[in-house]
Structure formats: C-alpha cells, structure tokens
Chains A and B, each alone.
Chain A
C-alpha cells in the first residue's frame, strides 16, 4: 500500500469524518488518496482557516479535529491556528506535507522546518522519514492529542514517504514509556481536600476549560449542588455551569462580574478545577484570593503551582476526581455565604445602560433570548468576545467557542464553520467585531460552497474596540490606529458578493426581526451587520496588573 493510502486508512481507523485543508505540491499523493476515500474534505480558503475550523470542530464535538496543509507557506499558515489550540488545550492533528527526504535541509522550494517551528506550540510533533513509520505515528499522534492534557499534534510527511510502499498494520494500542498521564486523584489528597472543604465557611469553586474537555459538567453541577458551593468560571469554563443557575457566579478576572471577583477576594477556600490561573483571571497575583486556601485539581502537574501557590494539589482527570469527591460529599454550611453573595448579585448585577441607539450588549441579549441559550456561540477576540461572555446565557458545555489563551482575532468565523460541521443540529453563531471578522473573511467562500449555515453577527462599532477602550482609559484618548470610520467595506454587499446572505441593522426595533430572519436561513452563511454605539466599553474592568478589588465601572 502507498504511504498516502496508509494515511487514509489510519484516518479511517481513527474515525475521522472530515478534514479541513488546502492542497499543494507536497501533499498531492495524499490529496489524491483522499479524493475518493469517503472522508469529507472541506477546502478552506486559507490554511489558517483550516486550523481554526479543525479547532472549532474539536471544541464543539469533543472529538479530534484534523487539518491538512502543504509544505512551506501552507504549513506556516497553520501556525497561528496550532498555537491557538495549544494555549486552550484543544486536541487537533495537523498534517503537513514536506519536501522529499533527500531534499530536506537544502532550502528546497517550499521547504520549512515545520517541526522546528511548531515545537513550542504543539504537545508533540513528528517528522516522518519512512513509509513504515506512518501507522504507528498516526496511532500515537491521535492518542497523544486526546489523552492527558489535550493539545495539538503535528505530523510532517515528506512527499516521497507518501509515495513509498509499505504494509498497513495499525497498532491496537499505544504504549509510550515516557507518557503515562495520571487520571485518578490520589486518595490521600482527596481525603485532605474533603476535610478542608468541610472546614470552610466561604468556599468558591473556580471552574475552567478543563471541566469541559474532561466532559465533567454534570459532575461539577452535582458536586456544587450537593455542597451548595457557588461556582465562578474562567472564560474557558463558560458553558460548564449554567449561567442561570442560582450558584453561578459568572466569569471572574479582568472582565469578571463584580460579585464573582468579590467572592474570589473574600473566599476562604478556592477549589480550582481544570483551570490554570492565567493573568487575565488572577490580576495582581500577590493580591489574588488573599484569604483563601487553594485546592487545585488538574490533569497537568505543570499547571499546578505555576502561577499561584497551592495548598492541596490533586493531579488527575477532573471528571474522575469530582466523582471521587461526590462519593464522599463533605458536610458544608454555606447559607450565610450564599446570602452575602446574593446581596452582591442584587447590588452589582452585570448590566449596561440601554439607550435609543443599538447597544452591543443588547444585541447579544437578544441573540440569547431568541436562541434560548441553545446555540453554539463562537466569538472573535476583543469587546465582542467579552460581551458574548457576559450577556449570553449558556446552558451547555461546548457551546462557547472562543480563543481564550492566545486571543486570536479571526478565530471565530472559521471555528464556527468547524463547529457547525460537527453539530448540524445546532444553530452556530459567530459573534464578531468589524475588525476581527476581516482577519479570516475569505472563509465566506468556504461556507457558501459547502452550504454551511453559520450565522455571523458583526457588532460594527467602526473601531478596534477593545484597544480603543484601553486607549480611552489609559492613553489619554489617543486613538492610535484603532478608528476604522469610513474605512470599512460594505459587509452586506461583501456577503452578497460571495453568494451569502447579508443584513444590516441599525435600529433597536429592527434587531429581533432581522436576527430571527437570519437565524432561519439555512442554505448557507449569513452576515448580520449591527451598527452599534461606536464608543461603548466593556465593564466592569480590572486594569492590567491590578488587584481584582480595583474594579472600574459597574455601570457603563
């Protein structure tokens, strides 16, 4: 069997149903083998789009996303997408073509050292030297991507390796002596943690993306409800606990809720589950959760104790550890604590001043209302992302798809395409900004030709809004390079030029009707451009590097 055919067989063994990619000289044999393989190939219009689409597919489905690119520029165009997946621990397998083995190192046409380039942004990567290695490598790559702390794995395959011949023998199991993730929490640590929870008067759970990747939302909910411990979320944790649950504390950190951040500042026990204490969550680290003991549960030992000192570390799969917790529910009495938090919630709710004009927050609220929290929401990065995080009422895990760690503008649209491919049963909406959407707008062509009915709601404020907000607050309103007034394309015409539907809304009264019309359209992508208040800010806000108690603006 040829190497290319072996690759296709490996993909089938891994039950890959779709590949996002772009052909090129160094993947010609593989593309030829895929052509009539039965595996769906979605041709993106840029390799970055392919990587993000594979990522969105993985986030929405919990399965491994696969993307493909040729050598050289094809491979380097994947880099931002791979880094995005790496920062958020998303399992993708990226396949790249490489120049023939005898040319490697010769600065051949379209040659780059992509394993070298992606070494710090992949969980692991491979450069194949022979056809015989393909099967074992694919087995390992898929295993590594999905197990332990998930992450992207890249396989670089020289064109002659794709053409070479070998037997196909797919291993049943993987045994990597140097890679043995720990899945169960150590019983002694579990016992200590439970005792500490019993002794706590003001406990708070802080749930992150790890809860979602471990499919542990149900366990989280059971544990929180049985112990009556309120649940704060990181951005990556959104969806892991329902927004409208009485124990929900909202997102914490730089744009956290006032009550969520207050709870962090006052808690005596922080139970961190599958999160990694990013600086956007902690603010000034020395003043983070100053009265709290910390229990930290994570599959990745390196995440524990990296940013904050931890009293009880528990290495393990979040789902397993929560189950171990649930077997021995500690006795807690959080009545007074919950009362205090409820009072904060009433006093400092997440809110904005609605006005005659169209407010971006109102747009998100309306989307939430129409879809009843059942949609999958992808976001770009910036204000659009924060408003989506604040005002969409999430009900389910894997319904918020956003670049948290890397903060990649241009992520949302291709990721939404991937998510829609994975979840045909769901409405998938990309909440975008007028800046971000233009970073991967070419994927309109992909969505149109594949009839992928993604909805893109552009909150057009004619600015690179989040940077403009920082300039307003911290740079004396010197709006360096952030004003796009009069420099925007006509998004409706642009959508139409690609063969997509386009709508524009500038009045509050028209919003709901237009959105509903757009959401009902299912033959392909649709753009809804919302002309929103140009200088609306995201509040509350903690300035970068400040303590979480230094919050600016409860009311916009």
Chain B
C-alpha cells in the first residue's frame, strides 16, 4: 500500500503571479521530494494557473506534499488525481533519422498506427508529434530508437478529472 515509488499526478491551482513556480519548486527541493515532471499554464480564469506535477512517494510523503503545498499562500487547491477517475495526456515532439526511404516508409506506418502526426520533414529527418498516455509515448519512443532519435522534447503529463459517472 505504501510504495515509495508510487507515481502520483497532482493538480495544483495557483495564483497566476510571478514567483509562484519558484515557491512550488523550492518547496519540493527544500523538503527533498522528487518531481518527475511539471507542466504549468493559465486556466479558463486568467488569474489562475494550473500545475500538473508528477511526483513519487508513499502515502506519508504524499500527505506532506499535499499539506505543505496548501500552506503556501498562493496555492488555491491541491488534488491528487491518481486517487480518482481522470484522463491524462502527454505531448511529445521527436526528431527521427530517416537514413533510407525504407526507414522513412516504416516510420510513416508507425506514425499512422500510433495516430501521431508528422509535423516537419527534411531530407534526413522527420519530426513527429504524439499525444497520449505515458505508456503510449514510451512505446513510441522505444520503437523510434531503432531509427535513431536526434532530439526529444516532452511536456510531462497533464491531467484532469473525469466528469462522466459523476453526474447524477
């Protein structure tokens, strides 16, 4: 039950002000909590930002993270989405070598299977955009390794809770 490496995705709504990101990341480093990824952007309310933070820790650590985040004056709400029905996605952009036309064809096929997109083409490489769950992204990256990955950039996971099933 108390797995130290259990991943949690927590959603933190904060005041959309300068310095807030530093407060949050500072809290994690000062207290020795690990962040696997962090994504942040404005919400439907321009005075509020939402952070999606992927952390690891057992129940006790998660409880402390929850409480310590809430203690920050600029934090409005903290939610551990892992404990409820939620949807999570990650976006990845990756550049893959296309040494031969064979490779190029193969990559295009894989891109179709994964319902990814090719967003840039050059003579020697393709840039692919993929949105999906972490496992889908990981699987895609794994397959592309064979062709030679030049560069990857990932957003980290973002998540939102499901409404379906909540409505009466």
Which listed residue (A119, A124, A305) contacts B22, Cβ 8 A? A119
Q: Is A355 an interface residue (CB 8 A)?
A: no
Closest residue to B18 on the A side, CB-wise? A127
B30 and A302 contacting across the interface, CB-CB below 8 Å: no
Given the known A-B contacts A115-B19, A127-B19, are A178 and B74 also in contact in the complex, defined by CB atoms under 8 Å?
Answer: yes
A302 and B71 contacting across the interface, CB-CB below 8 Å: yes
Bits for B35-71, please: 1 = Cβ < 8 Å to A, else 0: 0000000000000000000000000100110011011
A123 surroundings in chain B (CB, below 8 A): 73
| Best-surrounded residue of A124, A176, A177, A302 (most CB of chain B within 10 A) | A302
Given the known A-B contacts A116-B22, A119-B26, A120-B26, are A302 and B74 also in contact in the complex, defined by CB atoms under 8 Å?
Answer: no
Q: Is B15 an interface residue (CB 8 A)?
A: yes
A178 and B19 contacting across the interface, CB-CB below 8 Å: no
* Complex-state Cα separation, A300 to B23, whole angstroms: 18
Q: Is B10 an interface residue (CB 8 A)?
A: no
A116 surroundings in chain B (CB, below 8 A): 22
Q: Is A407 an interface residue (CB 8 A)?
A: no
A124 and B76 contacting across the interface, CB-CB below 8 Å: no
Which listed residue (A177, A302, A305) contacts B76, Cβ 8 A? A177
Q: Is A493 an interface residue (CB 8 A)?
A: no
A144 and B73 contacting across the interface, CB-CB below 8 Å: yes
B68 and A302 contacting across the interface, CB-CB below 8 Å: yes
* Complex-state Cα separation, A301 to B30, whole angstroms: 19
Q: Is A481 an interface residue (CB 8 A)?
A: no
B76 surroundings in chain A (CB, below 8 A): 177-178
* Complex-state Cα separation, A301 to B70, whole angstroms: 9
| Minimum Cβ distance to chain A for residue B67 (Å) | 4
* Complex-state Cα separation, A277 to B136, whole angstroms: 45
Closest residue to B73 on the A side, CB-wise? A124
Closest residue to A309 on the B side, CB-wise? B60
8 Å CB interface, B61-94 against A: 63-64, 67-68, 70-71, 73-76
* Interface residue tally on B, bucketed by range: 10 to 19
A302 surroundings in chain B (CB, below 8 A): 64, 67-68, 70-71
A305 surroundings in chain B (CB, below 8 A): 60, 63-64
Q: Is A306 an interface residue (CB 8 A)?
A: yes
* Complex-state Cα separation, A300 to B72, whole angstroms: 12
Q: Is A179 an interface residue (CB 8 A)?
A: yes
A120 surroundings in chain B (CB, below 8 A): 26-27, 30
B64 surroundings in chain A (CB, below 8 A): 302, 305-306
* Complex-state Cα separation, A144 to B74, whole angstroms: 12
Q: How many chain-A residues does the 8 Å CB contact rule pick out?
A: 17
| Minimum Cβ distance to chain B for residue A312 (Å) | 16
| Best-surrounded residue of B14, B60, B73 (most CB of chain A within 10 A) | B73
| Minimum Cβ distance to chain A for residue B2 (Å) | 12
* Complex-state Cα separation, A306 to B60, whole angstroms: 8
Closest residue to A123 on the B side, CB-wise? B73
Given the known A-B contacts A144-B73, A176-B73, are A119 and B68 also in contact in the complex, defined by CB atoms under 8 Å?
Answer: no
8 Å CB interface, B1-28 against A: 14-15, 19, 22-23, 26-27
| Minimum Cβ distance to chain A for residue B111 (Å) | 43
B75 and A178 contacting across the interface, CB-CB below 8 Å: yes
A300 and B15 contacting across the interface, CB-CB below 8 Å: no
* Complex-state Cα separation, A115 to B17, whole angstroms: 14
A115 surroundings in chain B (CB, below 8 A): 19
A178 and B15 contacting across the interface, CB-CB below 8 Å: yes
A306 surroundings in chain B (CB, below 8 A): 64, 67
B26 surroundings in chain A (CB, below 8 A): 119-120
Closest residue to A179 on the B side, CB-wise? B73
* Complex-state Cα separation, A300 to B64, whole angstroms: 12
Closest residue to B13 on the A side, CB-wise? A178
8 Å CB interface, A107-165 against B: 115-116, 119-120, 123-124, 127, 144
8 Å CB interface, A293-312 against B: 300-302, 305-306
| Minimum Cβ distance to chain B for residue A523 (Å) | 44
Closest residue to B23 on the A side, CB-wise? A119
Closest residue to B65 on the A side, CB-wise? A302
| Minimum Cβ distance to chain B for residue A80 (Å) | 17
A300 and B71 contacting across the interface, CB-CB below 8 Å: yes
B15 surroundings in chain A (CB, below 8 A): 178
* Complex-state Cα separation, A306 to B27, whole angstroms: 15
| Best-surrounded residue of B60, B67, B76 (most CB of chain A within 10 A) | B67
B68 surroundings in chain A (CB, below 8 A): 302
B30 surroundings in chain A (CB, below 8 A): 120
* Complex-state Cα separation, A302 to B60, whole angstroms: 11
B27 surroundings in chain A (CB, below 8 A): 120
Closest residue to A302 on the B side, CB-wise? B67
* Complex-state Cα separation, A432 to B153, whole angstroms: 58
| Minimum Cβ distance to chain B for residue A149 (Å) | 8
B14 surroundings in chain A (CB, below 8 A): 178
| Minimum Cβ distance to chain A for residue B44 (Å) | 16
| Minimum Cβ distance to chain A for residue B50 (Å) | 13
A127 surroundings in chain B (CB, below 8 A): 19
* Complex-state Cα separation, A520 to B68, whole angstroms: 48
* Complex-state Cα separation, A301 to B19, whole angstroms: 24
8 Å CB interface, A403-418 against B: none
| Minimum Cβ distance to chain B for residue A160 (Å) | 18
A179 surroundings in chain B (CB, below 8 A): 73
A301 surroundings in chain B (CB, below 8 A): 67, 70-71
| Minimum Cβ distance to chain A for residue B33 (Å) | 13
A177 surroundings in chain B (CB, below 8 A): 76
Binding site for A on B (CB under 8 A): 14-15, 19, 22-23, 26-27, 30, 60, 63-64, 67-68, 70-71, 73-76
Supplied contacts A301-B71, A305-B64, 14 more A-B pairs, CB within 8 Å: A119-B22, A120-B27, A124-B73, A176-B73, A178-B14, A178-B73, A178-B74, A178-B75, A178-B76, A302-B68, A302-B70, A302-B71, A305-B63, A306-B64
Nearest 9 pairs between A and B by C-beta? A302-B67, A178-B76, A124-B73, A301-B67, A302-B71, A179-B73, A120-B30, A302-B68, A119-B26
Binding site for B on A (CB under 8 A): 115-116, 119-120, 123-124, 127, 144, 176-179, 300-302, 305-306
Q: List 6 A-B contacts (CB under 8 A).
A: A119-B19, A120-B26, A144-B73, A178-B75, A305-B63, A306-B67
